[in-house]
Amino acid sequence: MYPEYPYFKKTTQSKEKILSFPPQHQVRQPGIESIMYPQPIIENPAYKGSGKLKGKTAIITGGDSGIGAATAIAFAKEGADLVIPYYSDYEKQDADRTQKRIEELGQKAIMIPGDLRDPDHCQSVVETALDTFGQLNILVNNNGVQFPQESLLDISIEQWDATFKTNIYVFFYMSKASLPHLKEGDAIVNTASVVAYEGNKKLIDYTATKGAIVGFTRALSQNLASQNIRVNAVAPGPIWTPLIPSSFSAEDVETFGLDTPMKRAGQPFELAPAYVYLASDDSRYVTGQVIHVNGGTMVSS
């Protein structure tokens, strides 16, 4: 059985309204899972690993919570050791939770707080992976921020720069630091978004970075194909992660994900198998592709 998905009802004078989630807002990005209600579901207890990543070492940026944490737990079930860089000590409770679960599954996890917008820090993360495990096989670029605005005119130059430096510069920094240590059969997996294909009127700068990630994925995959290092991406739809209440208004949270064909937001655990597939030998003839996990939204890939 999959974990139960919660629904909520809000009673008005005229009708009951189905909500995605109770209204809530956090003032700091990328947000904290432990104060969300309900907390995101980051693990499917029915998921049983089969050694697809046995003996591998993976770096997952932003792996303390949300999609990154769900991916890290699934990777651990498949036999991988993890290095997880995350942004700040204020997320330590989420990071400790994820590390504890990975270790319960019999794997090792190194948690590294710090700002990945610093290329020297990215290099340090890779060096830690090599010093600790002696190898690096998988890089999952997953960190990101978003700052909704009603108009392009409301986006400051500082916001534009911050969004690009977090969402795409880091992918470049981490990939460049990792590449000399990847070998035949290894993989890079990037987190894109459905907005790269359908747009989002309140997320102009975020959408632009996600389009850049798709282009980066496709170009890098061609560049590395002759080395048999695969580069792919996952494009999530609306997923219940700490980024949502820490970026959207409480009112927007109420209806988050209800406009998908499946009429709900996704949970982080529902994306993890896509990352496992792209990181493992199951996808050995797949590169430059984007897997869409979005509740049925039709996109042209």
Catalytic residues: 206
Q: Is the dihedral of CA 75, 76, 80, 83 positive or negative?
A: positive
Whole-number Å distance between alpha carbons of 297 and 261: 6
Other C-beta atoms lying within 10 Å of the C-beta of residue 10 = 12
DSSP state letter for 12: -
Whether the Cβ atoms of residue 23 and residue 252 lie closer than 8 Å to each other: no
Whether the Cβ atoms of residue 256 and residue 248 lie closer than 8 Å to each other: yes
Whole-number Å distance between alpha carbons of 244 and 238: 9
Tokens encoding 230? 């695969």
Cβ neighbours for 24, distance < 8 A, ≥ 6 positions apart: 36, 37, 245, 250, 253
Other C-beta atoms lying within 10 Å of the C-beta of residue 100 = 11
Whether the Cβ atoms of residue 104 and residue 96 lie closer than 8 Å to each other: no
> Which class for 45: exposed (0-12), middle (13-18), buried (19 or more C-beta within 10 A)?
exposed
